[in-house]
Structure 1
Amino acid sequence: MHGADLKLALRLALREMRGGLSGFYIFLACIALGTAAIAGVNSVSRSITSAITEEGQVILGADIRFELQNRQANEAELAFLDDQGDMTVTTGLRSMTRLPDGSDQTLVEAKAVDGRYPLYGELQTTPQLGFEELYGESDGRFGAAVAPLLLERLEISLGDTVLLGNAQFEVRAVIDSEPDALSDGFGFAPRLIMSDAGLDAAGLIQIGSLVEYAYKIRLEPGAPDSAIRQLRASADEAFPSAGWSVRSRSNAAPALTANIVRFSQFLTLVGLTALIVGGVGVANAVRAYLDSKRGVIATFKCLGASGGFVFSVYLVQILIIATIGIAAGLVLGALMPILASAALAGILPVSSDTVVYPDALLLAAVFGYLTALAFALLPLGRSRDVPATALFREQGFDAHGLPRKRYLLAAAVLIAALMALAIGTSYDRFIASVFLGAIAIAFVVLRLVSGLIEALARRAPNVKSTALRLAIGNIHRPGALTPSVVLSLGLGLALLVTLALIDGNLRREISGSLPERAPNFFFVDIQSTEVDAFSDLVEEVAPGSKIVRVPMLRGRILEFNGVDVREIDVPVEGAWVLRGDRGITYAKNIPESSKLTEGEWWAPDYSGEPLVSFSAEEAGELGLKLGDLVTVNVLGRNVTARIANFRDVEWESLSINFVMVFSPNTFAGAPHAWLATLTDPETGPMDEGEVLRAVTNTFPTVTSVRVKDALDVVNRIVGQLATAIRAAAAVALVASVLVLAGALAAGNRARAHDAVVLKTLGATRNTLIRAFSYEYMILGLATAVFALFAGGVAAWFVVSRIMTLPSQFLPDVAVITVVAALIVTVGIGLAGTWRVLGQKAAPILRNL
């Protein structure tokens, strides 16, 4: 088409749009909703990750941080670090704090600091005190600042005394804000901050204790990132076997950042689902709009306009309307970080300033345009080839089959580009591919379902009820609403069922079956000199319970077959094994919660080269095979062991399990502590309290973790995540409802014709209402059945195959879904039909 023709097409398109956007409100709402969801989720994610980067020094508490597990830096390492700039050392560990009379106790996240803490930011407390006032010793008691939750759990207040290890601590302040809390990671217990002197007096650090030493360094003001990279390289070169993990201000909270990115991209896929569902609404709206313009199109063609010119006129209109919808969605998406800053204040670093993230908005805009064009091309292409005589003679375009191959190919290319963009921008491309593949399959299956419903209705026996007979006829007649209703409602409901079943199974596992299988307690940091006395005490307090104890060390994987793990491209699902230190142990025999899948176990008296047993699933994710070498740094010493076998580990049992179990000779003579579990399904809360008091009072340096308390925390987090997921799923469901409303509105022209003819032949309004109600109920029920099946299969795959947890179909979800489908289809259907039933007969009968 020449430039003059394009200019004329643009002028005619704008002139025809002077009448407003009537018929395109559903189109606008669908595009705006999906675009807003994608733009908003990515903008909030960028806001959080940008804040973490910009406030990296405060979040990390340093420009660079060197972290050691279970050992302090030696003199040479300490001298090297101290020479780099101002340094503060913090020591973190979990322990039990208790009341002086031994009546109550709770787990705490203890943190010891020196006088230079913090290097960046400020520890805000109530009241605000100096270092000596807050932590100094007075009358045999050291000071401490504690989280408000600790006061609630022990029912104490400022000025009261608590015991930690072998020392007394006076609660002198409540922590309002801890600057480097995010970089310290997620904690299951309230924080207690004390001085190094207080920690020494408590005597908590013993051989094998699980302790984290963080050496935080502040460089010269204005030091560039290149200086930090050079310092890190120099440290690795000077101390290759140090075994420390290093973080800089540009990567202050890597686990948090990765989780935010991962979660936001999952929500982006859900938002994309809403946009794709809205694409069906786009197709319906374009088809209905062109149907209403059939007289104009026929006139264009009678005046000599080519099919390509007609296509261009209406393509310009669709692009203009899509731009309006996308712009509205981008405005809503850009405002979401402001709303998120209010909701997440105090939890995550979200800036309250109005900041626009162009890349997030551009991504959402591209998704919006690709969706609008992909779903609008087919009805536009179909209108091109309909002759003028057919347009004057017929009511619409549906009877003329598929458009030309070029339009089919263009639509396929746009859909492929949409999927490629979604997969290419995802954190986990495999999950994104599965997600989009499931949507594509769902579209095909929904089309087959609608065809099956029509076929069954066509073969249904005659019924006496006139209304029901009319309903069955409406389902399978030419131009029936069946495909539009099933497609528009089915995808949104299937997504909602999937997410509801995943959430329900997780909650059932965490609060139901998992606590029944899991131990009652984990006991950590049991000294070798105390382990027998500890076992005797537990057997005395909880007779008949099962006690399992194993030696425990901490180690970090450095190399596989001599190659640094930082140089290996590791899949996302296996990266957690290499992130930080892992608990490791040694054993003569196969752990009772494991079974060999490949290789052989070593003899009880084995004394050859160090061997290691690796978890089979994690080994597969890391690409390991029998005979490979694994180098682990333990207590500052590099140990290389050969993989002798693989084990199938039941992580979901929450019993004592390790990724790596070494042959006993590997750590002969190495200092370590012990880990123990206590399992007794018959033990109630009162009995557990007695066990906890006895262990804490007799062995104050042993850390006791009540599994139920930990699961309660996890359950609360799952609930918070589920709320966000449900909100995203609700967006997809709203899009489905909008598309459904648009599909029914598009069919109102035919419905008005049918209603007038039937009323002329003697049908009453009551009969017609019942007929339409039956039709919508049948379609809603059939769609709900599909949603239950598809959602159940998808949830089973996620829970059973990806999360490796028991999956169960939940009947209450089924009932709620069916009821929701019926209410939505019947309610919206009748709302749109009610106006049709009041249509006057004369204007329609004149055109028959």
Structure 2
Amino acid sequence: MAATSSRAEAARPGGLGLRARSSLALRFALRELRGGIRGFGVFLACLALGVAAIAGVGSFSRALTDGLSREGTTLLGGDAAFSLVQREATPDELALITAGGRVSTVATLRAMARAGSGDTLNATLVEAKAVDGTYPMVGAMALEPAQPIDRALAPADGMFGAVADPALVERLGLKIGDAFALGEAKLVLRGLIEREPDALSTGIGFGPRLMVSLDALRASQLLQPGSLVRWHYRVQMSDPSALTSFVDNVQKGAPQAGFEARTRDAAAPRLENNVRRFTEYLTLVGLTALLVGGVGVANAVKSHLDAKRGVIATFKSLGAPGGTVFTIYLVEVGLIAAIGIAIGLVVGSALPFAVNAAFGHLLPIAIVPSLQPAALVLAVAYGALIALAFALWPLGLSHDVPVSALFRDEVEAGGRRPRRIYAVMTVLAIAALAILAVLASEERRIAIYYLIAAASVLVTLRLVGFGIMALARRLPRPRLTEARLALANIHRPAALTPTIVLSLGLGLTLLVTLSLIDRSLTRELTSRLPEQAPSFFFLDIQNTETDRFAAFLKQQAPTGAVEIVPMLRGRLITLGDRPAESITPPPEFAWVLSSDRGITYADAVPEGSSLVEGEWWPAGYAGPPLVSFEKEIADAFGLKIGDSVTVNVLGRPITARIANLRQVEWERLAINFVMVFSPNTFRGAPHTSLATLALPGGGDAAVERVVSRAAARDFPAVTAVRVKEALTQIGEIVANLLMAIRGASLVTLVASVLVLAGALAAGQHHRVYDAVILKTLGATRARLVLAYALEYAALGLVTAAVAVGAGTIAAYVVVTQVMKVGFAWSAGAALGAAAVALVLTVGFGLIGTWRALGQKPARILRNL
């Protein structure tokens, strides 16, 4: 009676205020939840999965960036660092730097290390690092066997000490105490590097680390005019609080020096940028999983309301208005969503601790996992908005449906739409979700593109589902009874076709996209290499040795193609009338301003380039300096013919006017540069040359080893880079990255599988009803199983076809427009998607069908 009185009170217009009405809705929602949350398993799993992904990724990323900030001084090797390329700091420049505090000098370069002699000579590319006696000022160097770094590098018996990465020892076949050479310097291996505190600040190299003293580097004769050596001056501040003013004073005191300055607050900017980008991607993956899960939310809510027809009918028959019914079930769904979000938060919060415990020893820095309120709040907001956006529409359907229609739905289902207010509320929830995604993203342009793409795919898949139903409705009826039944099930009222296509299609689309990107990158790095790429790059060829080195290459590889061009390094200071530091470039072109660039000069258009605007300067040009700029980069920075650019080369600012724009075929790996100057610009400037050797047919490994050994023997100061080895390393990095991305993207596929399973489970009561009626009319279990298998197989194949098409388009855009490489389609990706779709749809479908076929007819027939 009390419950009846409450319902009657709720039914009277104005009988209850908002607070009382909310209290009543909460009481009824809690009363219904006492019976359990059966049917909401997929709802909870999808929300928990997506929230956990977003919370975990955000928390771990924050812990990693906090670690970078905390260890900034150690990673940088000091509070501040000033870098120069191709030259050392002058006494005046060094005086400005040493005014800040204690200074450590480090030089880095690529070079060739050699062991053995004659036919047993072995040479390999190394990332050499020369340090002074104060290294490391911050952090600790760990060696095996344990010893101080200055003792390990000290000279003894006419040989300099050296320590090396274990990979170098393996390549040269060395052991502790063995002798080898770097340039003209004789070295003895004293230890293996176990930990290098500032390794991250120098980035990823193409060879193993070799560490020597500055005296050993000078003895190597590698420090020639124009040699590609980077000099780093690390400063441990006497007054750390004066860091900003100190850096400004150095920059203002030596404006022409061309220093690349970094501070402890940005010790590894490239790594931090990569962490941010990867975090951005993984957050979008988590959001994608939530979007897919949103379909499961809608299915679960609809299924729950279908199961509650009798309860809703009772509410309405006692006079409860539609708004009260809506509020009761909105509160109930909200409580269940809160449970799912809470589970996701717990898992996401624990993820950084679990990753650190399992893989902390593999991370480049030590991290201190902790709860990150901002990441957790963002995950909660995403989860709540997803649940709200996908639940409002099915919840709104119960508002205006008469009691008779609710009862009649047991045998008759029709399409309905909620009243306008619920449609508006749904739109507002979706808009809030989109705004949150954009505002929470550091790359808002990418977030906007993602939202457009996600909306397009969701709408497309939904339309495809309805299109399949419309097509099935118009197809001629097959003569085979099982096929006719399967076709009818595809377009029947309340068919699962749109849900299956939507839930499974998004996950498969993502997998196809990643597979095709992987295929395209692999093809770009391997199959196209023999046709276009040179076999070797040779660096640091002195001008006096250029002719002799060219003759050497012709002797070693008479059929090879040799190209030699002059090379310098320069840092862009101004573009047009704008200082480089005031320019915010597009993300894909940020590398142009991030450090110094290789530059050259030429009388003619370089091979692999084509002139698209302007005119090339005549041979022997002697006027004001001119420069040719790569067109795509010029467009990105708003440069045009006639604009001027200033480049700092060897401490001198060089200003040149843009005479023409070139289109460069970077994928050929030929010698090419962003900027090519007129030859008179660098007349008399010290520099080295860069050479390539392209062997016929892409070269032979044995021939390449002979050329590499001979070059190391006759030209110890020249650095040889085997292109295949370099591309293999790049390929391994790309492969590992794609594997990590693909693994993370499985979250979306798992969500898709959960939603698919939930959708098929939600439709089980229709299957039970059909199976009982058909069995009563004489259908056998085998014929029903075959009919349902044909239905699910058809839906799986169509979903796979849609996923392959959408994934191909997405991969093509990413590969050709973002990565700027050739697109390669893979039949394996298409067949794999089809196999996954068939296994999932047919497997889950037949599991549910088998249960439906086992139901007793009496329970169903009794209610007809």
TM-score, scaled to structure 2: 0.96
One of 689, 700, 706 as aligned partner of 2:705: 689
Aligned residue for 2:505? 490
Aligned residue for 1:181? 199
Kindly indicate whether residue 222 of structure 2 is the aligned counterpart of residue 207 of structure 1: no
Conservation of the 8 A alpha-carbon contact between 1:515 and 1:708: no
Kindly indicate whether residue 715 of structure 2 is the aligned counterpart of residue 702 of structure 1: no
Aligned residue for 1:311? 326
Tell me by how many angstroms 1:350 deviates: 5.1
Q: How does 1:409-808 map to 2 (within 5 A)?
A: 409-682=424-697, 683-808=699-824
Q: How does 1:361-400 map to 2 (within 5 A)?
A: 361-395=376-410, 399=414
Conservation of the 8 A alpha-carbon contact between 2:613 and 2:661: yes
Stretch deviating more after TM superposition (386-395 or 111-120): 386-395
- Seen in structure 2, the aligned counterparts of structure 1 residues 413 and 351 have a Cα distance that, compared at 3 Å, is farther
Conservation of the 8 A alpha-carbon contact between 2:43 and 2:296: yes
Instruction: Name the SS for the 2:812 alignment partner.
Output: helix
- Could you tell me which amino acid in structure 2 is paired with residue 166 of structure 1? E
Conservation of the 8 A alpha-carbon contact between 2:63 and 2:368: no
Aligned residue for 2:314? 299
Stretch deviating more after TM superposition (397-406 or 196-205): 397-406
- Could you tell me which amino acid in structure 2 is paired with residue 258 of structure 1? N
- Could you tell me which amino acid in structure 2 is paired with residue 187 of structure 1? G
Instruction: Name the SS for the 1:522 alignment partner.
Output: strand
Question: Matches of 1:433 and 1:344 in 2, distance apart?
Answer: 34
Conservation of the 8 A alpha-carbon contact between 1:457 and 1:475: yes
Kindly indicate whether residue 169 of structure 2 is the aligned counterpart of residue 154 of structure 1: no
Tell me by how many angstroms 1:681 deviates: 3.1
- CA distances 1:730-759 after superposition (whole Å, capped 9, x unpaired): 111111111011111111111111100000
Conservation of the 8 A alpha-carbon contact between 1:281 and 1:739: yes
- CA distances 1:332-381 after superposition (whole Å, capped 9, x unpaired): 11222223325554553454544111111111111111111000000011
- Could you tell me which amino acid in structure 2 is paired with residue 4 of structure 1? A
Conservation of the 8 A alpha-carbon contact between 1:423 and 1:429: yes
For structure 1, the 5+ residue unaligned runs are none
Question: Matches of 2:365 and 2:151 in 1, distance apart?
Answer: 33
Question: Matches of 1:309 and 1:570 in 2, distance apart?
Answer: 54
Kindly indicate whether residue 181 of structure 2 is the aligned counterpart of residue 166 of structure 1: no
Question: Matches of 1:639 and 1:417 in 2, distance apart?
Answer: 51
- Seen in structure 2, the aligned counterparts of structure 1 residues 599 and 680 have a Cα distance that, compared at 3 Å, is same
- Could you tell me which amino acid in structure 2 is paired with residue 196 of structure 1? L
Tell me by how many angstroms 1:529 deviates: 0.2
- Seen in structure 2, the aligned counterparts of structure 1 residues 45 and 396 have a Cα distance that, compared at 3 Å, is farther
Conservation of the 8 A alpha-carbon contact between 1:301 and 1:307: yes
After the TM superposition, list the runs of 4 or more consecutive aligned residues in structure 1 that deviate by more than 6 angstroms.
Answer: none
Q: How does 1:335-350 map to 2 (within 5 A)?
A: 335-342=350-357, 344-349=359-364
Question: Matches of 2:129 and 2:328 in 1, distance apart?
Answer: 69
Question: Matches of 1:478 and 1:215 in 2, distance apart?
Answer: 74
- Could you tell me which amino acid in structure 2 is paired with residue 775 of structure 1? E
TM-score, scaled to structure 1: 0.98
- CA distances 1:395-453 after superposition (whole Å, capped 9, x unpaired): 39952511112221221222222222223333433333222222211122112211222
- Seen in structure 2, the aligned counterparts of structure 1 residues 703 and 342 have a Cα distance that, compared at 3 Å, is farther
For structure 2, the 5+ residue unaligned runs are 1-16
Question: Matches of 1:673 and 1:697 in 2, distance apart?
Answer: 19
Kindly indicate whether residue 245 of structure 2 is the aligned counterpart of residue 230 of structure 1: yes
Aligned residue for 1:101? 117
- CA distances 1:167-201 after superposition (whole Å, capped 9, x unpaired): 11100000000000001111111001011111111
Stretch deviating more after TM superposition (42-51 or 684-693): 42-51
- CA distances 1:463-515 after superposition (whole Å, capped 9, x unpaired): 23211111111011111111111111111111110011111211122122135
Aligned residue for 2:234? 216
- Seen in structure 2, the aligned counterparts of structure 1 residues 538 and 561 have a Cα distance that, compared at 3 Å, is same
Question: Matches of 2:650 and 2:77 in 1, distance apart?
Answer: 25
- Seen in structure 2, the aligned counterparts of structure 1 residues 32 and 698 have a Cα distance that, compared at 3 Å, is same
Tell me by how many angstroms 1:260 deviates: 1.1
Question: Matches of 2:817 and 2:359 in 1, distance apart?
Answer: 32
- Could you tell me which amino acid in structure 2 is paired with residue 229 of structure 1? T
- CA distances 1:541-577 after superposition (whole Å, capped 9, x unpaired): 0111001111000000011233211112322122110
Conservation of the 8 A alpha-carbon contact between 2:519 and 2:825: no
- CA distances 1:274-329 after superposition (whole Å, capped 9, x unpaired): 11011000000000001111111111112221111111111111111111111111
- Could you tell me which amino acid in structure 2 is paired with residue 154 of structure 1? L
- Seen in structure 2, the aligned counterparts of structure 1 residues 346 and 201 have a Cα distance that, compared at 3 Å, is farther
Question: Matches of 1:571 and 1:352 in 2, distance apart?
Answer: 31
Question: Matches of 1:459 and 1:132 in 2, distance apart?
Answer: 84
Question: Matches of 2:710 and 2:340 in 1, distance apart?
Answer: 66
Question: Matches of 1:342 and 1:658 in 2, distance apart?
Answer: 45
Conservation of the 8 A alpha-carbon contact between 1:30 and 1:738: yes
Conservation of the 8 A alpha-carbon contact between 1:498 and 1:792: yes
Conservation of the 8 A alpha-carbon contact between 2:67 and 2:367: no
Question: Matches of 1:513 and 1:613 in 2, distance apart?
Answer: 28
Instruction: Name the SS for the 1:806 alignment partner.
Output: coil
Q: How does 1:116-131 map to 2 (within 5 A)?
A: 116-131=134-149
Aligned residue for 2:336? 321
Conservation of the 8 A alpha-carbon contact between 2:100 and 2:238: no
Instruction: Name the SS for the 2:137 alignment partner.
Output: coil
Tell me by how many angstroms 1:516 deviates: 3.6
One of 202, 206, 214 as aligned partner of 1:196: 214
Aligned residue for 1:57? 73
Aligned residue for 2:160? 142
Aligned residue for 1:278? 293
Question: Matches of 2:818 and 2:753 in 1, distance apart?
Answer: 31
- Seen in structure 2, the aligned counterparts of structure 1 residues 343 and 161 have a Cα distance that, compared at 3 Å, is farther
- CA distances 1:652-711 after superposition (whole Å, capped 9, x unpaired): 111111011111111111110000110013320010001101111111010100001111
Question: Matches of 1:39 and 1:300 in 2, distance apart?
Answer: 39
- Seen in structure 2, the aligned counterparts of structure 1 residues 386 and 176 have a Cα distance that, compared at 3 Å, is same
Conservation of the 8 A alpha-carbon contact between 2:183 and 2:717: yes
Instruction: Name the SS for the 1:666 alignment partner.
Output: helix
Instruction: Name the SS for the 1:272 alignment partner.
Output: helix
Instruction: Name the SS for the 1:674 alignment partner.
Output: strand
Question: Matches of 1:54 and 1:456 in 2, distance apart?
Answer: 61
Instruction: Name the SS for the 2:528 alignment partner.
Output: helix
Conservation of the 8 A alpha-carbon contact between 2:125 and 2:720: yes
- Seen in structure 2, the aligned counterparts of structure 1 residues 104 and 476 have a Cα distance that, compared at 3 Å, is same
- Seen in structure 2, the aligned counterparts of structure 1 residues 676 and 512 have a Cα distance that, compared at 3 Å, is same
- Could you tell me which amino acid in structure 2 is paired with residue 624 of structure 1? L
The number of residues matched between the two structures is 845
Instruction: Name the SS for the 1:530 alignment partner.
Output: helix
- Could you tell me which amino acid in structure 1 is paired with residue 648 of structure 2? N
- Could you tell me which amino acid in structure 2 is paired with residue 821 of structure 1? A
Conservation of the 8 A alpha-carbon contact between 2:64 and 2:367: no
- CA distances 1:638-661 after superposition (whole Å, capped 9, x unpaired): 111111111101111111110111
Conservation of the 8 A alpha-carbon contact between 1:166 and 1:201: yes
Conservation of the 8 A alpha-carbon contact between 1:291 and 1:396: no
- Seen in structure 2, the aligned counterparts of structure 1 residues 298 and 692 have a Cα distance that, compared at 3 Å, is same
- Could you tell me which amino acid in structure 2 is paired with residue 819 of structure 1? A
